Structure 1
């Protein structure tokens, strides 16, 4: 399933050319990630109480269309686990007319904050912490 959240572009997010600053696209994806995991029953604050924390290992963005002040967008978030210590958390920023403004592909891990190492089975550890995969996971 894909989680979605609406965001309205704010004027202070613009660069000197009058469109959204490149770093803000990454912030929109972060808002979607945090909201999606929270909606799936796994708040980052709860993970911290278990001495766990998410770690962004890589982030790649493909800009498709510019965004301007006051535009309404929808930011999606999908999660895909494979085998290993990392997993994919991807977002698409879509304008109100359906045009894709950006695609953001992230590799994330879950760190054991005491050992300072990524956990071996992040999906299982997240489920133990209350994560409900059906809210944000995709199998494709």
Structure 2
């Protein structure tokens, strides 16, 4: 099961055309990522205390259907780990009727804040600070 967080579109998130501004989708993705990490037992403050921090390396949004004020949506969060220093966190913004409004693909790494370099094993590093991979990356 994919982790999901409910959101409601607020009027101040709209652009001149009356739908959600493009930059707000990135914020929705960030809400899903932070909530997902917390649900998996690993929050940003806990990582920073360990001299670690997730860093966003790239993000791409594919806009599919517009969102308007007061719509209720869900933002999912699913992690995909490979063998390198980076990993993917994918978010799908889904409208109440099941229509996909946008999908967001992010590439992240875990930075060692003292060395200012990405750690070699992000999944292992996250697990060492309490991350339950089954919450965001079933089977990892």
TM range (shorter): over 0.9
Q: For 1:1-140, list aligned pairs within 5 A.
A: 1-138=1-138
**Alpha-carbon offset, residue 66 of structure 1:** 0.3
- Whether the 8 Å contact between 1:80 and 1:139 is mirrored in structure 2 is no
Q: Structure 2: where are the runs of 5+ without partners?
A: none
2:16 aligned counterpart, secondary structure: coil
Name the CA shift for 1:139/1:64 in 2 (closer, same or farther; >3 Å): farther
**Alpha-carbon offset, residue 22 of structure 1:** 0.2
Distance 2:11 2:139 in 1: 37
Distance 2:72 2:122 in 1: 34
**Alpha-carbon offset, residue 96 of structure 1:** 0.3
2:98 aligned counterpart, secondary structure: coil
Distance 1:43 1:62 in 2: 27
**Alpha-carbon offset, residue 3 of structure 1:** 0.5
**Alpha-carbon offset, residue 139 of structure 1:** 5.2
- Whether the 8 Å contact between 1:34 and 1:43 is mirrored in structure 2 is yes
**TM-score under structure 2 length normalisation:** 0.98
**Alpha-carbon offset, residue 138 of structure 1:** 4.1
Q: Structure 1: where are the runs of 5+ without partners?
A: none
2:97 aligned counterpart, secondary structure: coil
